Structure 1
Amino acid sequence: MAPADVERTPILLAIGGHDPSGGAGIQADTEAAAAAGVHCCTAITCITVQNTCGLCQLVPQRPAQVRAQCQVIMDDSRIGAIKVGLIGSSRLIQVLGELIDACPGVPVVLDPVLAAGSGQVTADAALINQLRLHLLPRCELVTPNVPEALLMSTVTQFERAAERLLAFGCKAVLLTGTHDHTSELVINRLYRPNEAVVAWEWPRLAASFHGSGCTLASAIAARLASGQSLVDAIEAAQIYVAAALNTARQTGRCQMTPRRVG
């Protein structure tokens, strides 16, 4: 990168897991950011053993090692937004909170990866409790699907779940409808305190996609890093993800993998 480009290149710091299949996690974050014209710096929270069929093993990285990865980037680059994905261990939450506090005014997007797309749980009760107490209050936006929202909020209705997550302190909740099979459409709803709910409707595709949640959250975060408003960033990111899903390719035996658009 030329020195003249340093000041004008938006930078996203993506903190999450490594997916060997290339469909989710840090690789999805990097591709979504690049498609938005944003440079993506990364920190690995977990090494995973997985493919498009499912998750076999999580190997969380030591909190001190994750802190070091993030700190050298923060010391060197002007971060425009932070995206947090798979965390893997409750011991990491405090470190993430401290790192976020060291970047005042930088928007944080949390994709609470509490289970793999194939159903394997990736978060225990301690992690979820720490997430509620110490990470949600630091987030500009949280992007759970319906099962994740219900799990984090301990309620049984998604509307109440979104309200409960806002009560924990996050500024906005984008509740995604990919797992709500009661509707023929995928309906994504944005909840904010004292604001009307904003909803977007998308055709429900027949295939199962690996990494679409990671891609959506990082596409939003990348646009926030570029200075877009929250609603504009969410809308543009959904358009990007819809195009990616419609041109996805199957790289393994099981799930489709979204491909980069643009």
Structure 2
Amino acid sequence: MKPNILVIAGHDPSGGAGIHADIETIQALGGFASTLITGLTVQNSQNVRGFQLTDPALLQQQADALLDDLDYQAVKIGMTGSVAIIDFIADLLARLPGVPVILDPVLAAEAGGSLAQESLADAMLERLAPHCELLTPNLPEARLLSGEQALHACGDTLLARGRCAALITGTHDDTDQVSNHLFQPGRHRQWDWPRLPHSYHGSGCTLASAIACLRAHQQPLEEAVANAQAHVDRFLRQAFRPGRGQHVPNRQP
């Protein structure tokens, strides 16, 4: 049987990121995704123009229906959008003890534009991170979450404040390679990947969903992180450009 992964994230009508990316990735890696959509966005492959968040009361009703029916082997969280939705998610995660939770702390889209109603850094670290196994911020997000600038200081602060591991990705660096850094208590590991020629829409969603799916397949965390990066590299190498903006990962099995 396919493992069940609960995805809590926003909807991207262009199909490149958000819930679309999560479902495609999880299906490609042999999982089954059910979803709680935190908000509807107005965006395309070029930028975000706006968003409207879902009423937490409706999300609660949906979550109750899902948990009455399904057992979950992993949870992936993307766009939260507000402190009220973060509070809802934290209460939901308390009902799923022992289930691996991967949090992609989405604050802005790859193409530009805010996906948060307010500053969510403290709420994410204080309310969500203690329920999570792993955070997957890019370096700008890690800096905003931690209040630090240097990479290792970001990692150490996220470990201390969030009380979970952190994978800080280097997609936004101006370097020939993309360096991703996994910080765990007493341990640091780095992966280097060739920087591909395009800008990509939905790569962060894809990575976090891949890790969640592989954890649902019972791969140990570090192994899941390594293998998920390899899958994302393959998806990006076969990316395509559906519109006039960024390329989209081709998430084929």
Q: Normalised by the shorter chain, which TM-score bucket?
A: over 0.9
How much does 1:224 deviate? 0.6
How much does 1:202 deviate? 0.5
Structure 2 unpaired stretches of 5+: none
1:163 to 138, 147, 156: 156
Distance 1:14 1:242 in 2: 22
Residue 177 of structure 1 corresponds to: 170
1:247 to 228, 238, 249: 238
Q: Deviations over 1:59-78 (max 9, x none)?
A: 01111111222221122111
* Count of aligned positions: 253
* 1:232 aligned onto 2:223: yes
How much does 1:54 deviate? 0.6
Which runs of structure 2 are paired with 1:16-95 in the superposition (5 Å)?
16-95=9-88
Distance 1:180 1:25 in 2: 22
1:214 to 190, 205, 216: 205
Distance 1:170 1:70 in 2: 25
Cα RMSD, aligned residues only:
1.1
* 1:199 aligned onto 2:228: no
SS at match of 1:256: coil
Q: Deviations over 1:188-240 (max 9, x none)?
A: 11000112x11111000120000000000000001111111101111111111
Which runs of 4 or more aligned residues in structure 1 lie more than 3 Å from their structure 2 counterparts after TM superposition?
A: none
SS at match of 2:162: coil
Which runs of structure 2 are paired with 1:102-113 in the superposition (5 Å)?
102-113=95-106
Identity across aligned pairs (percent)? 44
Q: Deviations over 1:62-117 (max 9, x none)?
A: 11111222221122111000000001111111111110000100011000011111
Distance 1:77 1:236 in 2: 27
TM (norm. structure 1) is 0.94
Structure 1 unpaired stretches of 5+: 1-7
SS at match of 2:68: helix
Distance 2:120 2:154 in 1: 18
Which amino acid in the other structure matches residue 128 of structure 2?
L
Distance 2:212 2:47 in 1: 26
Which amino acid in the other structure matches residue 169 of structure 1?
G
Bigger shift: 127-136 or 237-246?
A: 127-136
Which amino acid in the other structure matches residue 250 of structure 1?
R
How much does 1:122 deviate? 2.2
Distance 1:107 1:96 in 2: 14
